[in-house]
Structures are given as structure tokens and as C-alpha cells.
Amino acid sequence: MGERLPLVIYFLSMVNWAQVLFNSSVTGCIYLISAVGLTLTYGLSKFPNFAHAEFMTLGAYAGYFLADQLGLGFPSAFVAAFIASGILGALSYRGIFQPLAKRGASLIHLMVAAIGLGFVIRHFVGELWGWSPRSFKVTWSAFDIGIVRVSDLWLWLIFAALAMAGLMHLLLTKTKIGKAIRGTSSNPELALASGVNINRVTLVTWLVGAALAGIAGLFRGAGTRLSPMLGWDILLPTFAVTILGGIGSFYGAIAAAFIIGLAENIGVVFLTSFGISTEYRMAIAFLILIITLILRPGGLARMFR
């Protein structure tokens, strides 16, 4: 290690930190869009929905189907991803999780059912589109802003994440349904007693959450490649964002998404400079997840009340 240190310092001084910062926000934006749905459904239905991964996968493939296979152009992919995943989320809640909860299923049963549902969707996608990776035909133009290399897909992603955050903020604070979501999440009995239709609120949350997951999956698929494992590959980082932000906390998730994005991208720089395999990129989010759960299971939520 001793003789490597000058090399490491040289390497770190050569890194384009502005680029790292930009990449971090790109990573953070995908995690944010996917985590918002997860954190809201987790807060409301009180169980981690492992099938959230497959909501992302289906969104990506639905977008691919409309945009590339039917040739309707990339903007139509957003509509397809939003609608397909949203419907899937609402159906899963109505068809599986609500009946299970009514029958008094334990937390572990709900989690196992979510995994079972995930299997069904993942292999259904695998059957329809095959297991070999696919990619969008669209090519993204890359250009330089100052010293940072960006592509228009990433600018769209950042725009979408900001728009989503703004809209969700307005939804949660200004509208009746948004206030009902927050109320039900923090105290279901009280919300029920105040005349909130909990079933409807939960259904809407599952619909919106899954639809956003679909958008996140679409961006991931457009930025890398599509495969039936697409959602699973970013599920645990999404969980890391959800847990670090505090379950059910939308504002916590925003902060956590950028913390995890930064940690991953800065971590990769350090991994390369120390000559460690970049396969460990994922392990960074995993470690943050485990450490948060063990040391501070409430996450950052207390700072965002």
C-alpha cells in the first residue's frame, strides 16, 4: 500500500470532479424516482415490496415496446411506462396485498408474496421479450458543458426528477389526497376516524408509486440496457435510499438519493485509484443500507419533519 500512495494521490488529482458530481446527480435522480414509490407504499402498507423491482422492469419494457417495436418515438415510452407500471401496481395491491392484509397475513408472508409476484412478472417479461439484453434504438447526443460531458438523456432525467419532486411536493402538501396519504402513513386509525378513505388512498399511492418506478426503469433501460433483471439490479440501492431517507419520508428520500449517488460515484473513483474491482460499486449502497439499519433504522427522517 505504501508504494501505491503517490500513485493514488496522482490519480485522484487527475479526476474530473465536476464530472463525478454530475454523474452522482444522474445516479441519484434514478434512485430518487424509483425510491419515492417504494418509500410511500412501504410507509402506508408497512411492508417492503420486493416486487417494486419488477414494476421498474415492466415500465422499461412497456416503453421499449411502444417506442421501438411499434416505432412511436421515445416520448411515447414515458406514457407507456407510466401507465403500464401504474396499472400493474394498482392491480397487485388490489389482487394480492390488500386481500392478504385483510386475512391477517404476517409481515413475513407479505414479503414472501411480494417476492412471488416479482418472480411471476420477471419471468413473464423474460418470456415475452427474451432474456438476452436489448437496447433502445435511439442514440443520445453527447456534448460538453464546460468540462462536464453530458448527454441529453441525462438532462431529461434530471429534468424529470426535478419535475417529479416538485409535483410530488405539491401533491403531498397542497391536495386533499396528498394530505390523506401523509396522514394515513403516520396514523392509520386517526386518518380513518377523520373520514379518510384509507383503501382509496392506499390504492392511489400504489398506482402512483408503481408508475414512477416504471419511469425510473425506463431511464435505467435507456441509459444502460434492458434485461428482465433490470429492476432487481437497482432494487437494493433503491432500498438503501428508502431506508436512509426514513421509510415513508419523501423529503428524506430526496436527500438520501443524492447521498447514495455521491457515495457510489466517489466510491468508484476511490476503488479504481486503489486498484480494487469496480464490481464493488453496488456494495457501497449495500453497506450504507446495512449500516443504517443497524445503527439508525429511522434514517434521516427526523431531520425532515
Partner 1 sequence: MDPLIYILDIIVFVGIFAIVALSLNLEYGFAGLGNFGKVAFFLTGAYTYALLSQIGLPFFLCLIIAALISASIGFLISLSALRLREDYLAIVTLTFGEILRLVVKAEHWIAGGVWGITMPSAISWAGASPRMMAAANIGLVYFCLILGFILVQLVSNSPYGRVLRAIREDETAAEALGKDRFKYKAQAFMLGSGLAGLGGGLFAQYLRFIDPYMFLPTVTFSVWIMVIIGGPANNWGALLGATLVELFSRGTRILKDYLLVPIDPNNLQYILFGLLIVFILLYRPQGLLKESQVKTKALEVISRWKKHS
For partner 1, the closer CB: 127 or 152: 127
DSSP per residue, 171-193: HHHHSHHHHHHHHHHH-HHHHHH
Residue 268 CB partners (closer than 8 Å, separation 6+): 278, 281
> Cβ of residue 279: shortest distance to partner 1, in angstroms?
4
| Angle, helix 198-223 to helix 17-45, in steps of 10 degrees | 150
> Cβ of residue 289: shortest distance to partner 1, in angstroms?
6
> Cβ of residue 203: shortest distance to partner 1, in angstroms?
18
For partner 1, the closer CB: 159 or 280: 280
For partner 1, the closer CB: 143 or 280: 280
For partner 1, the closer CB: 222 or 235: 235
For partner 1, the closer CB: 38 or 196: 38
> For residue 10, what is its C-alpha cell?
496522482
> For residue 8, what is its C-alpha cell?
493514488
Which residues contact partner 1 by CB under 8 A?
Answer: 47-48, 96, 99-100, 103, 105, 107-109, 111-113, 115-120, 122-124, 126-127, 232, 236, 239, 243, 277, 279-280, 282-283, 286-287, 289-290, 293-294, 297
Q: What are phi and psi of 46, to 5 degrees?
A: 65, 30
For partner 1, the closer CB: 122 or 220: 122
> Cβ of residue 265: shortest distance to partner 1, in angstroms?
18
> Is-contact 27 238, C-beta < 8 A?
no
> Cβ of residue 176: shortest distance to partner 1, in angstroms?
30
Q: Which alpha helices (DSSP H) does the chain contain, by range?
A: 5-14, 17-45, 52-64, 74-92, 98-102, 107-129, 152-174, 176-186, 188-193, 198-223, 230-245, 250-273, 281-295
For partner 1, the closer CB: 118 or 252: 118
> Is-contact 273 218, C-beta < 8 A?
no
> Cβ of residue 241: shortest distance to partner 1, in angstroms?
13
User: C-alpha 295: how far from its chain's center?
Assistant: 23
Distance CA 246, CA 302 (A): 8
> Cβ of residue 78: shortest distance to partner 1, in angstroms?
28
> Cβ of residue 237: shortest distance to partner 1, in angstroms?
10
Spatial CA neighbour of 208 closest among 37, 31, 34? 37
> For residue 79, what is its C-alpha cell?
406514457
For partner 1, the closer CB: 201 or 288: 288
Whole-angstrom Cα Rg for the chain: 20
